């Protein structure tokens, strides 16, 4: 009887340790997922900023939206 109680106590202790380990693992996985989400958000922000800059550069190159002064010239005829 004493041996059986000892084994049950050991079994309960092992189950408790397993539950603690699983809880720690779940917490670690949650932390990793949160870090990945933050990294993804930062990457998306950088990509949006890059696209915005690229559009601005294209506007300047194409001269749209008053991004550079309008050139005016005329041809003069000599008399």
For the chain, domain boundaries = 1-65
Average pLDDT, the chain: 89
Return the H-helix or E-strand segment holding 79.
none
Query: Which ranges in the chain belong to alpha helices (H)?
Result: 2-62
Look-up of token digits 């720690």: 24
pTM over 0.75: no
Contact 59, 67 (CB under 8 A): yes
pLDDT single digits (tens) 36-74: 999 999 999 999 999 999 998 888 777 666 656 666 777
């Amino acid at each position: 009887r004493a041996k059986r109680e000892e084994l049950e106590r050991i079994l309960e202790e092992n189950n408790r340790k397993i539950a603690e380990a699983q809880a720690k693992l779940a917490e670690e996985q949650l932390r990793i997922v949160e870090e990945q989400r933050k990294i993804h958000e930062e990457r998306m922000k950088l990509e949006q900023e890059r696209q915005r800059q690229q559009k601005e550069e294209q506007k300047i190159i194409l001269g749209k939206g008053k991004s550079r002064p309008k050139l005016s010239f005329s041809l003069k005829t000599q008399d």
